[in-house]
């Protein structure tokens, strides 16, 4: 039996807000029509930030890198090494393919990097430099030809640590631009910014809606919503650990769901008590407490099967498993953005340093997609060739009949002309090639 010890007081965001959509549509139209001038006007309006050019010079970028302390540089290098290593391993798992399916018939595919990629790194509330690793660096490992990246100003100026992370990750162009104006500038292009083919990276509700509206004109990585975390735990761990990990993700924003699924009522009660205690000392308690009050849940299950079913139903962005046998959930769960197996790891490791990508599906999108990874920056494109006359005539005969089954005479003639030329058969115009004619 499944019981809710604590339920969410507010519905999890899922539907698009009409007000946000209208505002974003208007802003996108401004940039599409007004180019650089509109970008500057919007940067002044929303960020109170003005420059002759929002693209950072090499000297500015070098200054940001040089401003890092030795410890900061070593920490950034360590994080980027982990992410690069895993992304390279993922890319190595993607193989080009060529096979001969019939004598003389060769089919294949190539994994082709997207040429122009725009990466958004959020930084208005917190300077989320980790997003530079996850987007820019992953695109660089994929082999993308040109990587443009934008991040908003932080506290009225260039966010030096974000810029350093963007540059060290391999960005070709770095802009101090935020919000919808940054997304629009990369997608539409301006007088000074060439457009991109794909947008990647998280952002606030306005950035996410801009990406959604632009999907089709450009590719995007994911439809992103507020950060979500789900912890699956049994009595092998304690309430303090669970509460710490729930609040660690709830501090992302006041609309961030944090959910515990457990088969231990004692752990559930202890976790609730520990959350109350920790909220008295957590520096970001104002945000985390609101998120927990409105979107926090504690779900009590009797069996492992119920825990798996509930977890798949939640389909959370982050799923942290702290049980005696975490591999049971690795083997049986189907809907999650990323799994964090065992008490020794946690979502913050994935957010910042361990090597897997932190741009992950939200709003139950884990039912049908995984997160950002090197493969998102690659197009798997197929090709075919026929090497013999006999193979062309054979495929042509089948193709002729199949096309005419659908009523496509022009399609059939593409097959028929090859049966005539390479098979030496006299096929009437727009007629099916009969088996005896092969």
Residues making up the binding site for NAD(+): 120, 181, 204
Q: For the stretch 142-155, what's the b/e string if a residue is b when 16 or more beta carbons lie within 10 angstroms of its beta carbon?
A: bebebbbbbbbbbe
Distance of CA 192 to the CA centre of its chain: 27
Q: How many whole angstroms from its chain centre is CA 220?
A: 8
State yes or no: is 318 an active-site residue: yes
What does the DSSP assignment read for 279-300?
TTT-TTHHHHHHHHHHHEEEEE
Helix (H) or strand (E) holding 90: helix 70-92
Q: Which of 90, 60, 263 is nearest to 164 (CA)?
A: 60
Rg, C-alpha atoms of the chain: 27
For residues 416 and 395, what is the distance between their CA atoms, to the nearest angstrom?
10
**The two structure tokens encoding residue 137:** 């660096």
Binding-site residues for substrate sit at: 227, 249, 252, 318, 351, 406, 411
Query: Coil, helix or strand for 146?
Result: strand
DSSP state letters, 310-365: HHHHH--SEEEEESS-THHHHHH----SEEEESTT--HHHHHHTSSS------TTG
Residues belonging to the binding site are 120, 181, 204, 227, 249, 252, 318, 351, 406, 411
Catalytic residue among 318, 328, 358, 434: 318
Residues contributing to the annotated binding site for Zn(2+): 249, 252, 351, 411
- Give the pairing type, strands 229-233 and 219-220: unpaired
Q: Is 173 a catalytic residue?
A: no
Choose the catalytic residue: 317, 328, 413, 434. 317
Query: Among all residues, which ones are annotated catalytic?
Result: 317-318
């Amino acid at each position: 039996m499944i019981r809710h010890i604590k339920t969410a007081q507010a519905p999890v965001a899922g539907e698009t807000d009409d007000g946000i959509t209208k505002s974003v549509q208007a802003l996108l139209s401004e940039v599409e029509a007004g180019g650089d001038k509109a970008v500057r006007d919007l940067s002044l309006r929303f960020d109170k930030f003005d420059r002759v050019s929002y693209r950072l010079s090499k000297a500015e970028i070098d200054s940001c890198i040089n401003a890092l302390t030795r410890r900061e540089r070593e920490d950034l290098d360590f994080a980027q090494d982990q992410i690069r290593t895993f992304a390279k391993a993922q890319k190595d798992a993607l193989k080009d393919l060529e096979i001969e399916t019939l004598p003389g018939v060769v089919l294949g595919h190539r994994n082709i990097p997207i040429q122009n990629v725009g990466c958004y790194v959020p930084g208005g509330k917190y300077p989320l430099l980790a997003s530079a690793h996850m987007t820019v660096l992953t695109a660089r490992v994929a082999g993308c030809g040109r990587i443009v990246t934008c991040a908003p100003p932080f506290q009225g100026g260039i966010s030096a640590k974000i810029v350093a992370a963007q540059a060290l990750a391999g960005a070709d162009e770095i802009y101090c631009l935020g919000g919808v104006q940054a997304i629009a500038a990369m997608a539409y292009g301006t007088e000074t910014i060439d457009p991109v083919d794909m947008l990647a990276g998280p952002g606030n509700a306005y950035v996410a809606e801009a990406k959604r509206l632009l999907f089709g004109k450009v590719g995007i990585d994911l439809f992103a919503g507020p950060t979500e975390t789900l912890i699956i735990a049994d009595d092998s761990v304690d309430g303090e650990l669970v509460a710490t990990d729930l609040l660690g993700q709830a501090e992302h924003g006041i609309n961030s769901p944090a959910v515990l699924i457990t088969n231990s009522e004692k752990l559930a009660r202890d976790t609730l008590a520990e959350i109350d205690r920790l909220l008295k000392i957590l520096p970001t308690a104002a945000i985390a407490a609101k998120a927990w009050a409105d979107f926090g849940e504690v779900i009590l299950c009797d069996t492992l099967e119920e825990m798996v079913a509930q977890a798949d139903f939640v389909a959370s962005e982050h799923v942290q498993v702290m049980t005696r046998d975490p591999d049971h959930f690795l083997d049986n769960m189907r809907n999650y953005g990323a799994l964090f197996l065992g008490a020794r790891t946690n979502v913050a490791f994935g957010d910042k340093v361990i090597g897997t990508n932190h741009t992950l599906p939200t709003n139950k999108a884990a039912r049908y997609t995984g997160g950002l990874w090197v493969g998102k920056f690659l197009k798997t494109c197929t090709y075919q060739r026929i090497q013999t006359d006999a193979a062309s005539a054979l495929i042509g005969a089948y193709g002729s009949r199949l096309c005419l089954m659908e009523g496509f005479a022009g399609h059939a003639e593409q097959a028929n002309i090859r049966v005539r030329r390479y098979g030496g058969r006299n096929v009437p115009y727009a007629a099916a090639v009969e088996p005896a004619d092969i």
